């Protein structure tokens, strides 16, 4: 699993999240993740890492070389999972903008609840937001009809890693967060 260093981020936002993600997947499934590597989007190691994870709090901008490398990575079978930290709005807004630049004509869009990602391990019909009257919905980018990158703006990493303590009753519940994260990882590693 690759933990992405991007823009000015060294990949340490909520530093325990990567380790928690690996443990969650290894505990609940037969998929064993060997290690967490910190990689830049322009590193050659990127192409030896089938699953990338990125999280953050703030706005960021990807360089043209990062976008070109990510385009190649995603179009050749790589998968990208991102989570905004602590329900901060800057990161999800930047992720939507930057990931919509990867493939011409492809925009980040909501992933409907009938998509396989919501049934790849647990059957998830809806996930309710803890602080607003709405469903939490993953967003993603597709390449040639295949989901290649997914993002949750609602502090998903905080829910499965920090037991939602940094979200203070916002975003995703810890139980739903673990289920949704496991679905994402299983989907990514089996499709």
Q: Give tens-digit pLDDT for 96-142.
A: 999 999 999 999 999 999 999 999 999 999 998 888 888 889 999 99
Number of CB atoms found within 10 A of residue 68's CB = 14
Section 182-188 average pLDDT? 90
Question: Above 80 in pLDDT, residue 19?
Answer: no
Sign of CA dihedral 136, 20, 80, 58: positive
Cβ–Cβ < 8 Å for 159, 166: no
Looking at per-residue pLDDT, the higher value among 156 and 150 belongs to: 150
Identify which of 34-43, 98-107, 155-164 has the greatest average pLDDT: 98-107
Cβ–Cβ < 8 Å for 158, 14: yes
Number of CB atoms found within 10 A of residue 123's CB = 9
* CATH class entry, domain 2-190: alpha beta
Residues 130, 88: Cα–Cα separation, whole Å:
15
Q: DSSP character for 29?
A: S
Question: Above 70 in pLDDT, residue 169?
Answer: no
In this structure, what token pair is assigned to residue 156? 């998903």
DSSP secondary structure of 60-71: ----HHHHHHHH
Domain ranges of the chain: 2-190
**SS3 call for 48:** helix
Looking at per-residue pLDDT, the higher value among 67 and 50 belongs to: 67
Sign of CA dihedral 33, 34, 36, 40: negative
Section 42-69 average pLDDT? 91
Question: Above 80 in pLDDT, residue 167?
Answer: no
């Amino acid at each position: 699993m690759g933990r992405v260093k991007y823009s000015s981020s060294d990949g340490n936002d909520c530093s325990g999240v990567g380790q928690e993600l690996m443990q969650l997947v290894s505990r609940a499934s037969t998929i064993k993740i060997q290690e967490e590597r910190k990689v830049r989007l322009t590193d050659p190691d990127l192409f030896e890492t089938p699953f990338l994870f990125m999280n953050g709090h703030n706005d960021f901008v990807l360089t043209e070389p990062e976008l070109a490398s990510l385009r190649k990575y995603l179009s050749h079978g790589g998968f990208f999972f991102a989570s905004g930290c602590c329900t901060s709005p800057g990161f999800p807004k930047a992720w939507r903008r930057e990931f919509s630049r990867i493939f011409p004509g492809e925009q980040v869009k909501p992933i409907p609840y009938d998509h396989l990602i919501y049934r790849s391990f647990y059957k998830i019909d809806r996930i309710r937001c803890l602080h607003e009257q709405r469903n939490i919905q993953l967003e993603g980018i597709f390449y040639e009809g295949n989901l290649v990158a997914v993002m949750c703006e609602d502090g998903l990493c905080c829910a499965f890693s920090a037991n939602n303590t940094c979200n203070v009753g916002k975003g995703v519940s810890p139980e739903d967060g673990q289920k949704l994260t496991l679905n994402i990882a299983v989907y990514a590693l089996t499709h």
